Amino acid sequence: MKGTVYSIEGKELRDIELADTVFGLPVNEDLIWYAINNELANKRQGNASTKDRSEVHGSNAKPYKQKGTGRARRGDKKSPLMVGGGVVFGPRPRDYSYTMPKKAKRQAIKTILSLKAQSDGLKIIEDFSIESGKTRDLAGLLKNFKAGERTVLVLKDDDPLIKRAAGNIPWLSYLSYNRLRAHDLFYGRQVLMLESAVKNLNAFYGSAVEQGEEAGE
């Protein structure tokens, strides 16, 4: 399939080839949901914690005698029934992360890219760099591409100047072509992709890579 490359001023320049195995796949909603939830689970800290009665600081002595007071019998002040006592079945630190199959993860990324390409949520821009590394210069460039919406910028490599310039733009996130995140791509209102990043994606997620992986198993 074909795509259009835009200049940094927002004008059409030329066509570019988009691999059907990356940008022309049918949308798999279940796989997208699986990939996004996997990323969110892996980001959870899981450090919520409470103390049970063995961990609460306090005396083991009975607060008052067993009989004769007319009150309910108490073993110690650390009982879960007492104010300031332990917590029964409270949360404990845990690891929420789990591993998603590599092929399923790759397929989810490709189907999200296909969804964006088929719904006009993907726009390809000629390669550029922010030599000054200033947020002002990058924000001025992005005004030509509906600045202000939740936007994902896909880079051809780890460009430190663009990353530094993008750090203070709240509605912009940046990803390298070989480290894409399903959550960011799916929820981005628009995906801006550098021309070289498209070529790299065609090779990185293309059929030749897939066949190579299968042969290596």
- pLDDT (tens digit per residue) in 127-177: 888 888 898 888 888 888 876 788 999 998 888 888 898 888 899 999 998
What are the backbone dihedrals phi and psi of residue 133, each rounded to the nearest 5 degrees, phi first? Answer: 70, 15
Binned at pLDDT 50, 70 and 90, residue 208 comes out as very low
173-203 pLDDT, tens digit per residue, is 999 988 899 999 999 989 999 989 998 888 8
Strands (E), the chain: 2-6, 12-17, 122-125, 151-155, 172-176, 190-194
Calculate the CA dihedral of residues 18, 24, 27, 30 and round it to 10 degrees.
Answer: -70
CATH code at 2-41+100-216: 3.40.1370.10
Instruction: Check residue 209 and give its pLDDT.
Output: 44
In the chain, where are the structural domains located? 2-41+100-216, 50-90
- Specify the pLDDT at position 158: 81
pLDDT digits (tens, 9 = 90+) for 20-66: 888 989 999 999 999 999 999 999 999 999 999 999 998 889 989 99
**Does 216 have pLDDT greater than 60?**
no
Residue 211 in this model has a pLDDT that exceeds 50? no
The DSSP element (H or E) to which 22 belongs, if any, is helix 20-23
Q: What are phi and psi of 194, to 5 degrees?
A: -70, 150
